Amino acid sequence: MSTLAADEIRLHGHRVRFHRAGSGPLLVLLHGIASTADTWAPVADALAQRHTILAPDLLGHGESAKPRGDYSLGAYASGVRDLVAALGHDRATVVGHSLGGGIAMQFAYQFPERVERLVLIASGGLGREVHPLLRAATLPGSELALAVLGGGWLRATGGAVASVLGRVGLRAGEDLAGVAAGIASLGDAGARTAFVHTARAALDAGGQRVSATDRLYLAAELPTLIVWGEDDPIIPAAHGRAAHDAMPGSRLEVFAGAGHFPHREQPARFVALLERFVAETEPAALAAARWRELLRAAD
């Protein structure tokens, strides 16, 4: 991950790999499904100039452990809470991409006192639609299919990979590279199992089945930035626009010409946007009493 050194910690008996660097207010960076902390490489060094960066490989991903267990959004959010606390931090601005966005929202819902700001990049959990490749992972027999596909993927040439992904609507660049790397990571049986369990916890054959849209009103007092690529083929940018409309005071930035990885496609723009957002907003400080008021107001 850029020039940042990797470290690891054991939590509840499981190895968690993470990157931490810089100093200043904490930014927790959460990657998407079948990805790793390395997705933040194009922006990590720049962000570490003014912030403490904490970017884990989520359980079931990368170099972290892949136990048979709970891969729900709630379990991921609790794991992030435990990692942040174990490393000596109390509060953070939480940044999540794709699945990581869904985890970031779940983290803010479960632990509102620990979140200063929320940044959602092409986030899951904001609508039903999602690319058929992810829906397919929820079907019976998907683990066997992934075992065959993963092995073939590792043997395929770059041209063959590009041709296959092009036929399912992914263009050359970060979308193709990101999905190809994700599939290639599933050569390990533990990684495949974790991937399928993660996918089935949030998706079904019809699309995303876990949604935060009925609770977005709770973010009224949480500074929120929504970032999307206009040409995202994985999760449509319309989800970001709808979430922005439903979250009072949120900011929306749509990157023209970008796909599902806007932070990688336009890293300088993303870093400038995130730093401006942090500089211009006061960190949330949501007391338990105010949280109760917000919940009761929805009746």
**Residues ≥6 apart with Cβ < 8 Å to 58:** 30, 31, 64, 76, 79, 80, 100, 103
The C-alpha angle 11, 74, 267, rounded to 5 degrees, equals 85
Q: Give the pLDDT confidence score for residue 188 in this predicted structure.
A: 83
Q: Of residues 98, 142, 185, 250, which has the active-site annotation?
A: 98
Annotated catalytic residue 260: yes
Comparison of pLDDT for 51 and 142, the residue scoring more: 51
Annotated catalytic residue 131: no
Is pLDDT above 70 for 167? no
Q: Residue length, the chain?
A: 299
3-state secondary structure of 90: coil
Question: What's 119's DSSP letter?
Answer: E
Q: What's the pTM? A: 0.92
Q: Give the pLDDT confidence score for residue 4 in this predicted structure.
A: 64
Q: Of residues 232, 239, 250, 263, which has the active-site annotation?
A: 232
Domain boundaries, the chain: 6-129+210-297, 132-204
Is pLDDT above 70 for 33? yes
Comparison of pLDDT for 162 and 51, the residue scoring more: 51
Q: Of residues 61, 97, 260, 263, which has the active-site annotation?
A: 260
Comparison of pLDDT for 145 and 124, the residue scoring more: 124
Q: Which CATH architecture group holds 6-129+210-297?
A: 3-Layer(aba) Sandwich (3.40)
Among residues 109, 81, 108, 126, the alpha carbon closest in space to that of 226 is found at 126
Place of tokens 């991903």: 61
Q: Give the pLDDT confidence score for residue 144 in this predicted structure.
A: 61
Comparison of pLDDT for 4 and 95, the residue scoring more: 95
Which tens digit of pLDDT belongs to each residue from 248-290?
Answer: 899 999 999 999 999 999 999 999 999 999 999 999 987 777 7
Is the Cβ–Cβ distance between 106 and 219 less than 8 Å?
A: no
Annotated catalytic residue 250: no
